[in-house]
Structure 1
Amino acid sequence: MTAVDERGMTKYFEELEPPEGVKVELLRGVIVMMASPDIVHNMIVADVQDQIPRQRWSRLQTQDVDILDEASEPVPDLVVLPRDLLPESGRLLPCPSVTMVVEVVSKSSVHQDYVTKRSIYAAGKIPVYLVLDPIMAQCVLLTKPAGRGEDADYRSQEVIKFGDRLPLEALGIELDTSDFGTFPGVRPHRYP
């Protein structure tokens, strides 16, 4: 049997054909599969996308992002980048062109969204990481990425409850969170 390191997983991942309706990501050499999202999840993503001006920003759902110097190809729920930096084609968006990534927490993605992806996006120097959490009815805005690899993190963190307005200075907008839904009856967690 041949051993496969993290970089070898990248090649294997590129050739993987998941079943329909399954989201697949490569997170630090680990292939992660998730079922299709809940309606609450999809409506939150749509609400955020609708509030970001299309004239200036490309707003892409489930677009693979290439994190430099990482065996990671996360697939954020929403990726925002200036329209003039959008490549003409390709599966992977280079992380230096990305202004903001958005993840909506699901019952099975809490640790990934709050810990693993936080470090991965910070390592990729993505300026803004927005975690929208329908379990805790909160937004976690992370900015000022610093560090490398697994030690990377965001130096600034702001928590805002659903229903409050969230200034997104990098995009020049204020996000209205009043229509964001929640997951009823789901056990609370302790993040961020």
Structure 2
Amino acid sequence: MTAVDDRRVHTAFENLEVPEGFKAELIRGEIVMMAGPDKVHNRIVQSVQDQIPADRWERLQTQDVAFPAEDSEPQPDLVVMEIGADDSPGRLVPGPAVTMLVEVVSKTSVHRDYVEKRSIYAAGRVAVYLIIDPFEAQCLVLTEPTGTGLSADYQSKRTRKFGDPVPLPIIGIELDTSGFGTLPPLRAAP
């Protein structure tokens, strides 16, 4: 993509009027729009937010994060950063201010959450990326980001089933997943 194209996409994204009940993200130069989440999704995000100590961590739901090197402005389900890491106004939190990002998988976000955002967040050096999958009833904790661009990834990967505690030592908690709701497994297309 050229610099002119980049500016056009960013201008279009900033001026986009998103219909009620939808959200939009900029993922590697592409504007992606999706329907709003269901109640299972929202309850999981709320549970995670409630377990993160508010005296040390700022916890922002659906906050846009800037990853300029990736030409991306994703809107994670939950952004966690140390209090005072970013006190600037505006809609964008700079990627380097973020300690943990949380995505709860939906029917339409599986590939984006597990593949695209994983490499974007790793390239942006987000210390912890937590993927919560209500279809598989599991959490994937990714730490130790490495690499750049499409090949960026996390060196450490831990999977925990719902009901098992999820250690998040950087945040200083063991996440209680026993109350997380589930959804029927997704079926692969024939």
TM-score range, shorter chain: over 0.9
Query: Residues 164-189 of structure 1: CA distance to partner in whole angstroms, max 9, x if unpaired?
Result: 001101101110000000003x3257
Deviation at 1:5, TM superposition (A): 3.0
Judge conservation of contact 1:164–1:178 (CA < 8 Å) in 2: yes
Q: CA deviation at 1:19?
A: 0.9
* 1:80 aligns to 2:80 (yes or no): yes
- TM-score, normalised by the number of residues in structure 2: 0.94
Q: Give the Cα separation in 2 of the matches to 1:168 and 1:188.
A: 30
How does 1:1-192 map onto structure 2 within 5 Å? Answer: 5-184=5-184, 186-187=185-186
Contact 1:22-1:36 at 8 Å conserved across structures: yes
TM-score normalised per structure 1: 0.93
Gaps of 5+ in 2: none
Structure 1 CA distance, aligned partners of 2:134 and 2:10?
Answer: 31
Q: What amino acid does structure 1 have at the position aligned with 2:170?
A: A
Distance 2:140 2:110 in 1: 13
Summarize deviations over 1:70-97 as a string: whole Å, max 9, x none: 2100000000000121324211000101
C-alpha deviation, 1:11, in angstroms: 2.3
Kindly tell me: are residues 128 and 18 of structure 1, through their superposed partners in 2, closer, same or farther at Cα, counting changes over 3 Å? same
Contact kept, 8 Å, 1:25 with 1:33, in 2: the verdict is yes
* Count of matched residue pairs: 187
Provide the rounded CA distance (Å) in 2 between the counterparts of 1:122 and 1:48.
21
Q: Percent identity?
A: 61
What is the Cα-based RMSD across aligned positions, in Å? Answer: 1.6
Distance 2:6 2:154 in 1: 24
